[in-house]
Amino acid sequence: MTPDLIFSYSRSQALDDGVLLDVSELAREAGFKLPVAVSDTLYHGYLTPPLDLVKAGLSFEGRLWDTLSVLRYAIKAAPSTDRLSFTVLFAQAPDTAPEPVDLLAVCGPGDSGEPVITIMTPSDE
């Protein structure tokens, strides 16, 4: 007997709601062939730099590029898997050392079964 489905939340709904943010365009430039989205926690907490760091020249695009670059390296170094933990250094304030942030990348089926990548903090899982 199959249990009745009580609730379903699609990837497209998560993108529409802002729970996930599509970063596929820059990801393609970085060499990713699959659609890529990031969690809102990662987007707002780490990828979007604080205003003091924006004034110092840091940008969302640069921080995302760094994250994607570290992920690509981790993918190449890892055995074949659909889940991968990796760490990225993020500066959170001027004149402080960047802090290591553990991230998780999951490759899974999109709404139509197509492969997609989602990058998140472990607490987003």
- At 5, is the pLDDT very low, low, confident or very high (cuts 50, 70, 90)? low
- Other C-beta atoms lying within 10 Å of the C-beta of residue 51: 8
pLDDT tens digits for range 102-125:
999 999 999 999 999 999 999 998
Task: Tell which phi-psi region holds residue 123, choosing left (phi > 0), alpha (psi between -120 and 50) or beta.
Answer: alpha
pLDDT tens digits for range 53-96:
999 999 999 999 999 999 999 999 988 899 999 999 999 999 99
Residue, of 49 and 9, whose pLDDT is higher: 49
Note the helical H segments in the chain: 11-17, 24-29, 40-42, 51-55, 60-77
Mean pLDDT of all residues in 2-29? 89
Rg (CA), the chain: 16
Contacts with 77 (C-beta within 8 Å, 6 or more apart), sequence order? none
Going by DSSP bridges, is the β-strand pair 83-90/115-120 parallel, antiparallel, or unpaired? unpaired
Contacts with 28 (C-beta within 8 Å, 6 or more apart), sequence order? none
Residue, of 50 and 4, whose pLDDT is higher: 50
CA angle 18, 33, 72 (to 5 degrees): 85
**Is 8's pLDDT higher than 90?**
no
pLDDT for res 125: 86
Q: Where are the domains of the chain?
A: 15-124
pLDDT tens digits for range 16-57:
999 999 999 999 999 999 999 999 999 999 999 999 999 999
**Is 3's pLDDT higher than 90?**
no
